[in-house]
């Protein structure tokens, strides 16, 4: 008897899309979605640790509470489960989290360069410029603290010398945020290689951020 099979199937499909879109290589990265709290426990469904996405079935997606204690599923949950939990705790508006290793966001992560506000869709859907969270060892509490702090109220953050995290109200929006971050990062690197990066003017960024807040507040 399984209560969350439909939600686990959704996480499986989202993880396959993440891989197909080239946002991760091999078994890297992880995806989760928040589940409605049961018996006072906050829960999420998350991809398992070190498994190839195309070999997974819905039963392999693990349901855990925010202490990473297992509720459904037999596999070991992602090593970054506590990072996902820290984000859900800090951001009650967030219903899904993607951790990716996408190439251009990783280039900024290695260069230690934040992504300034350069594109309208970046501002409206990600919240503006994207910060780089200082390095923390994978799966460490330090990484969780740094990521939550650098993410703030935005929908994406770059992880120094590691990759990126994107969030959203649901799996579709969070995946779109991961793709938008990667696109904007690529455009930034390409524009910089052309020798000219024109930032969006601050008053235009403010207008875009007003739209961002409006979209965040919509049901
Ligand atoms: Zn990673």
Rounded to the nearest whole angstrom, what is the distance from the C-alpha of residue 53 to the centroid of ligand 1?
A: 15
Task: Give pLDDT tens digits for 86-145.
Answer: 999 999 999 999 999 999 999 999 999 999 999 999 999 999 999 999 999 999 999 999
Rounded to the nearest whole angstrom, what is the distance from the C-alpha of residue 160 to the centroid of ligand 1?
A: 11
**Distance of alpha carbon 177 from alpha carbon 169, whole angstroms:** 10
Task: Give pLDDT tens digits for 113-130.
Answer: 999 999 999 999 999 999
Rounded to the nearest whole angstrom, what is the distance from the C-alpha of residue 102 to the centroid of ligand 1?
A: 10
Rounded to the nearest whole angstrom, what is the distance from the C-alpha of residue 101 to the centroid of ligand 1?
A: 6
Please report where in the chains the tokens 């390409």 appear, as a residue.
190
**Distance of alpha carbon 151 from alpha carbon 159, whole angstroms:** 10
- Which residues make Cβ contacts (< 8 Å) with residue 79, sequence separation at least 6? 30, 49, 138, 139
Checking if the pLDDT of 39 tops 90, the result is no
Checking if the pLDDT of 38 tops 90, the result is no
Q: Provide the pLDDT confidence category of residue 219 given band limits of 50, 70 and 90.
A: low
Q: Mean pLDDT over residues 59-85, rounded?
A: 96
Please report where in the chains the tokens 């990473």 appear, as a residue.
68
What is the CB-side half-sphere exposure of residue 90 using CA atoms within 13 A? 20
Rounded to the nearest whole angstrom, what is the distance from the C-alpha of residue 207 to the centroid of ligand 1?
A: 33
Q: Mean pLDDT over residues 27-34, rounded?
A: 97
Rounded to the nearest whole angstrom, what is the distance from the C-alpha of residue 139 to the centroid of ligand 1?
A: 9
Rounded to the nearest whole angstrom, what is the distance from the C-alpha of residue 201 to the centroid of ligand 1?
A: 33
Question: Pairing mode, if any, of strands 156-159 and 132-133?
Answer: parallel
Residue 68's region, left for phi above 0, alpha for psi from -120 to 50, else beta, is left
Checking if the pLDDT of 199 tops 90, the result is yes
* Sheet with 62-65: strands ordered across: 70-72, 62-65, 41-46, 30-38, 96-100, 163-168, 156-159, 132-133
Q: Which residues are catalytic?
A: 80
Q: Is the pTM of this model over 0.85?
A: yes
| H-helix or E-strand spanning residue 88 | helix 81-90
Return the pLDDT at 163.
97
Task: Identify the structural domains of the chain with CATH numbers, from first to last.
Answer: 5-217 (3.40.225.10)
């Amino acid at each position: 008897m399984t209560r969350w099979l439909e939600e686990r199937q959704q996480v499986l499909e989202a993880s396959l899309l993440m891989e197909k879109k080239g946002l991760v290589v091999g078994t890297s990265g992880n995806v989760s979605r928040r589940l409605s709290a049961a018996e006072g426990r906050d829960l999420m469904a998350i991809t398992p640790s070190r498994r190839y996405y195309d070999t997974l079935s819905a039963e392999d997606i693990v349901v855990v509470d925010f202490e990473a204690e297992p509720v459904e599923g037999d596999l070991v949950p992602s090593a970054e489960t506590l990072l996902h939990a820290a984000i859900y705790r800090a951001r009650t508006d967030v219903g899904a989290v993607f951790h990716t290793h996408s190439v251009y966001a990783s280039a900024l992560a290695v260069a230690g360069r934040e992504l300034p506000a350069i594109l309208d869709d970046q501002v409206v859907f990600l919240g503006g410029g994207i910060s780089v969270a200082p390095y923390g060892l994978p799966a460490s509490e330090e990484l969780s603290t740094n990521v939550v702090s650098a993410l703030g109220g935005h929908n994406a953050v770059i992880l120094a010398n590691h990759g990126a995290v994107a969030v959203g109200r649901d799996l579709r929006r969070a995946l779109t945020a991961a793709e938008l971050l990667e696109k904007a990062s690529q455009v930034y690197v390409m524009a910089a290689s052309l020798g000219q990066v024109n930032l969006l003017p601050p008053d235009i960024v403010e207008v875009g951020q007003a739209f961002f807040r409006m979209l965040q507040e919509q049901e």
